[in-house]
Amino acid sequence: MRLVFLGPPGAGKGTQATRLANELGIPHISTGEILRAAIARSTPTGIEAKAYVDGGELVPFAIVLRLVEDRLQEDDARDGWLLDGFPRNLEQAHALEPLIEKLGQNLDHVVFFEVSDDEVVRRLSGRRVCKTCSETFHLEFSPPPDPQDCAPRQCEIFQRSDDSEDSIRNRLEVYSRETDPLVGHYQESGLLVTVSGSGPIDEVESALREALGHRR
Ligand code: AP5
């Protein structure tokens, strides 16, 4: 299956993508994760992308497109993939179409997670991530394990640099200006599946399975 996950920052795309990709045995391709890894390793791409990511702005088109193009051609992506965070505007959506066509593939569904702005702020301000395994937690909804329990895995919990108040506000503005128009775009092409992202994590997972199950 080939899927795109769409939704505002903090909607739970990454949380649900990790679960579904594991279940389907397909790679979870998060452009945000790829960019953060490049920033952590200070690669040329990471150095160029850092200021955009920290400020909640979109990283330039050419950089992101090259990352996605390379990743989709890796062996593990031959039989399916889940794209999380790409495309993020109409320019990227229009670039994805010929790219997957060239690979002889097609997009099955675009899942849109619907969540209110208030919920987004609550989720992002409480989010914590493990530096070692990239697992995502939330101080209230899925608290990180006690550091002592994590000793063997050497978990190191931190807050993402773009989860500051200013960056969250900017990401919401960028989302409504750049990404929200994709909902109409994919609705028109008949690929859109809307899932309420506002309940607890397990409830959203069930709603997602049900929505996709009806369409398999
Ligand atoms: P990216 O990493 O894609 O960030 P995002 O889209 O803003 O999404 P998030 O990762 O913040 O949220 P999420 O929806 O995955 O939520 P999560 O599951 O973590 O991109 C970061 C940056 O990279 C961008 O700003 C941009 O600069 C750049 N970038 C990336 N892609 C790009 C592109 N294509 N073009 C240009 N630039 C690009 O959940 C959030 C929190 O809520 C967690 O704490 C989680 O535990 C909790 N939670 C999740 N679900 C629930 C639930 N149901 N109930 C309660 N809590 C929940």
pLDDT in tens, 140-156: 998 887 766 656 667 78
Determine the pLDDT at residue 156. Answer: 84
Determine the pLDDT at residue 188. Answer: 97
pTM: 0.94
- The mean pLDDT of 29-43, rounded to a whole number, is 96
pLDDT band for position 119 (cuts 50, 70, 90):
very high
12 lines ligand 1 (CB under 6 A): yes
Determine the pLDDT at residue 131. Answer: 83
53 lines ligand 1 (CB under 6 A): yes
CA of 210 to the centre of ligand 1 (A): 23
CB atoms within 10 A of CB 92: 20
**Residue of 19, 78, 160, 209 marked active site:** 160
Asked if 88 is an active-site residue, the reply is yes
pLDDT band for position 30 (cuts 50, 70, 90):
very high
**Using CA atoms, how far apart are residues 26 and 18, in angstroms rounded to an integer?**
10
Asked if 41 is an active-site residue, the reply is no
- The mean pLDDT of 111-134, rounded to a whole number, is 92
Which residues, in sequence order, are CB contacts of 24 under 8 Å at separation 6+?
A: 1, 80, 82
Phi-psi region at 72: left, alpha or beta (left = phi > 0; alpha = psi -120 to 50): alpha
- Note whether 56 and 168 are within 8 A (CB): yes
Give the type of residue at 16: Q
14 lines ligand 1 (CB under 6 A): yes
Determine the pLDDT at residue 144. Answer: 85
Determine the pLDDT at residue 216. Answer: 47
Asked if 171 is an active-site residue, the reply is yes
**Does the pLDDT value for residue 96 go beyond 80?**
yes
Which residues, in sequence order, are CB contacts of 30 under 8 Å at separation 6+?
A: 14, 17, 84, 85
Asked if 177 is an active-site residue, the reply is no
- Note whether 40 and 146 are within 8 A (CB): no
**Does the pLDDT value for residue 24 go beyond 80?**
yes
The region of weakest confidence among 37-46, 84-93, 205-214 is 205-214
**Using CA atoms, how far apart are residues 201 and 142, in angstroms rounded to an integer?**
9
pLDDT band for position 214 (cuts 50, 70, 90):
low
